[in-house]
Amino acid sequence: MPGSPSTRSIRKRLVDADDHFDITPLPEFDDARLGSINLRLGNTFLIARRASVSSIEAQDVRASQRLFDEVRLPGREPLVLQPQQFALATTFEYLSLPADLCGFIQSRSTYGRMGLIAATATYVTAGYHGCPTLEIVNAGEVAVVVRPGEAICQLVLITAGEEPGDLHPSRYQCTVRPYPARRM
Amino acid sequence: MLDPTSRAQALARRFNNVLTALGSLDDRKETLTPATAALLAQVQDAVEATRQAFEERWNNLAAVDPAVRDRLRTNLCDQVLRVLAEVAQTLLPALDGTTSQGIPVELDPILTRLAHRADPTNPAVILSSAPGFQYSVQRVAAPIQMATSVTGKTVSTTAGLSTFLFLRLPKIERDSALLHVILAGHELGHVRDWATQTSQNLVPPPLVLSTGAARAEDIVTHKNLISFWAREIVADIFAAFIFGPASLLSFTELVLTVGTLSGDSFTHPGPNRRIEIILGVLRQLDYFDNQEARALLSDLEKATAGAAATPVVVQQFSGQEIPQAAWDWLSSQVPSLIAQCQSALAPDEILDAGKWQEIEAAASQLSRGRPFGELVTGSGDASGDISVIPVPEPIILNAGWLVRMRGYEGLAKIVDLDPRDTKQSADLAAILDGLLLKSLEISDWRLNNAWGK
């Protein structure tokens, strides 16, 4: 039956080296509670260009790749997102989900109330490894400053009933940076 | 074109171009590291002070007798040109190469920490990319000082007066973490050599040639060959002590990408000679007593056995007696150089074969498609003690090489790629490099608790 794993179970599994569930760096225990774990913003961003591409078609993967400029911020330097600006980023944490867990990544309410949407219920499949890509949009009326390391979103865990042998690698398996669409 | 007025007009244009280029870097200040921002501020201050002094001195010379005025103005132009040349040829390319499109920003704090361990004067580290396929290191005095040749007085700057260390990597290899062992190992080995003066303290013997007494230029050549070659060997030795087999494997990969294992040059002894020396250090660190480690090294051991005794052939020389004499003496000094390098390192800096189990453990994690930047032990109970410690960089990078040398076993399955397929093996290499950069980033973050709580 799908459900949410307990806080105790999440914490225990995260420090068990033999368990296939892993998040690195290990979250602070305060960040892992009630079936969810706070995740921080990584340092690499793909910023959408506004002027040089007239439009893109979802089927045209190469065009969507040309849409972005990559920026990697040193340390905790800020990124300013203007109103309506769109960027791809990743979580700082690297997730390894076992066959019996999947989840959704959603914005934390603090950021949502500033108009910043960090993730639109991004689905993370059982067996996924990597730093999930976040699609960040400033839907507000004023610029918003974000910094690498801010706990901008959370992973809501759900139990899954997959068998390890049935898992199929995601097309973004084991990636640590944001990627535009790879293939349809 | 040659008269001072024409030259001054050309210089005015160069000043504008240089200041425009510096200004465009200033526009992306938020993407610069603190060291790069300090360098940029110093160069801007130096160029601005030089420009102002140039205009002032030029105008002051208007009152001088025309017979000497042109000569003095020409001298002034020469002085300014030297400053602009230094900016255009060394400083601007380095600053330009600091964009995140060219460097792995995750490595910047790590290389800075390692550089400060190598050089206690704590130079400001500028990690920069360059075209071509070379790694290099260069120590650069505070750029503000170059302006004094034109201003005639100390120029003030708010950016501090630290010395800079330029570390350069090939732009196209930005994310090639496995290859960057060269930067952290060999290039910072040069920094250790400068700090300890290991190669500089070598005193070459008098040159004796079969044709009789050596000429003055022969003596200089002999001395230079020993000096250049010793620098490379000492950097290799430091790298081998600190990074173990990874230093050897990254060096060999770079060499085979740009050339062959044999071939001496005026500045570098043949790679085969250097590999044989590095293998000697690894033998001393007991890697040959470990079957798994030995498996990584045996091919290179066979390929370079006896390299030190092979005749020296430096293309630039018609006769090889001087380079041969230089090599014969220098190779006799290698055991002493190894001992000096070892004694200059703290015990915790040396990666001997006793750490092999840690390397295997890290490789096992990478093979499972997981970064390994921290080691977590303890229990997840609310009352349990949990210990999280950063994994040292040499362990991470050697583990990466282990996964690579074993054909990406495990990792290939996780990502469903075939390492026997050329294209897919390149994708695997990129994934492994990504896992390594993430491991290094997490290790550094854990070490510094960079974001606090």
- Sequential pLDDT tens for chain A (184 residues): 568 888 888 888 988 888 899 999 999 878 877 788 999 999 999 998 776 666 777 667 666 667 788 888 887 888 999 999 999 999 999 999 999 999 999 999 889 899 999 877 689 999 999 999 999 999 999 999 999 999 999 999 999 877 777 777 776 789 999 987 665 4
Query: B418: domain range?
Result: 354-448
- Tell me: pLDDT of B117 over 90: yes
**Complete DSSP assignment for A98-132:** -TTEEEEEEE-HHHHTTTEE--SSEEE-TT-EE--
Taking an 8 Å cut-off on Cβ atoms, the answer to whether B376 and A15 are in contact is yes
pLDDT at position B132 over 90: no
Please answer yes or no on whether A176 and B381 come within 8 Å at the CB atom: no
Domain presence at residue B23: yes
pLDDT, position A76: 80
Burial class (CB in 10 A: 0-12, 13-18, 19+), B115: buried
pLDDT given for residue A183 in this prediction: 53
What residues 25-64 of chain B have any CB closer than 8 A to a CB of chain A? 30-34
* Active-site option among A135, A141, A150, A163: A135
CATH number for A7-51+60-166 (one of 2.70.40.10, 2.60.40.10, 2.60.120.10, 3.40.50.300): it is: 2.70.40.10
Q: Do B205 and B139 share a domain, yes or no?
A: no
User: A8 to chain B: nearest residue by CA?
Assistant: B381
Query: Which pLDDT does position B32 carry in this prediction?
Result: 85
**Do B149 and B268 lie in a common domain?**
no
Same domain, B98 and B212: no
DSSP secondary structure, B278-330, as one string: HHHHHHHTTGGGSHHHHHHHHHHHHHHTTGGGSPP-BTT-SS-HHHHHHHHHH
Q: Which of A46, A72, A146 to mutate to test the interface with B (most CBs of B within 10 A)?
A: A72
B142 and B270 in one domain? no
- Give the DSSP H/E element, type plus range, for residue B92: helix B92-96
Token pair listed for B277: 């020396």
Per-residue pLDDT, averaged over B280-290, amounts to 97
pLDDT at B450 > cutoff 70: no
Task: Find the helix or strand (DSSP H, E) in which A156 lies.
Answer: strand A151-159
- Does one domain contain both B225 and B322? yes
CA dihedral B109, B115, B117, B120 (to 10 degrees): -120
Q: Both B428 and B302 in a single domain?
A: no
Tell whether B267 and B306 lie within a shared domain: yes
Measured in degrees and rounded to the nearest 5, phi and psi for residue B427 equal: -65, -40
Of B204-208, B312-316, B377-381, least confident by mean pLDDT is: B377-381
DSSP for residue A51: S
User: Is B407 domain-assigned?
Assistant: yes
Q: Is residue B382's pLDDT more than 80?
A: no
pLDDT value at position B142?
86
Q: Where are the domains of chain A?
A: 7-51+60-166
pTM comes to 0.92
Instruction: Sheet containing B124-130: give its strands across.
Output: B124-130, B164-170, B136-140
Residues contacting residue B51 through CB under 8 Å, at least 6 positions apart: B15, B19
B44 and B125 fall within a common domain: yes
pLDDT value at position B453? Answer: 43
My answer on whether B278 and B358 are in the same domain is: no
Determine which of A15, A68, A70 to mutate to test the interface with B (most B C-beta atoms within 10 Å). Answer: A15
Residue B182 within a domain: no
Contact flag B437-A8 (C-beta cutoff 8 Å)? no
Q: What is the pLDDT of residue B31?
A: 80
Q: What is the pLDDT of residue A52?
A: 63
Candidate from A28-37, B29-38, B240-249 with smallest mean pLDDT? A28-37
Task: Write out the two tokens for A102.
Answer: 């999947």
Distance CA A147, CA A44 (A): 11
Q: Would you place residue B112 in the very low, low, confident or very high pLDDT band (cuts 50, 70, 90)?
A: very high
Region B232-260: mean pLDDT is 96
CB A170 within 8 A of CB A130: yes
Looking at per-residue confidence, does B358 or A36 come out higher?
B358
Question: For chain B, how many structural domains are there in total?
Answer: 3
B251 or B31, greater pLDDT: B251
- pLDDT value at position B384? 64
Tell me, yes or no, if A28 is annotated catalytic.
Answer: no
Determine phi and psi for B433, rounding to 5 degrees. Answer: -60, -40
Q: Are residues B127 and B237 in the same domain?
A: no
ipTM of the complex, rounded to two decimals: 0.91
Is residue B220 domain-shared with residue B322, that is, in the same domain? yes
For residue B10, pLDDT over 80 is answered with yes
What would the mean pLDDT of B414-437 be, rounded to a whole number? 94
- B415/chain A closest Cα distance in angstroms: 6
Query: Do B25 and B49 fall within a single domain?
Result: yes
CA distance A157 to chain B (A): 17
Contact B7, B71 (CB under 8 A): no
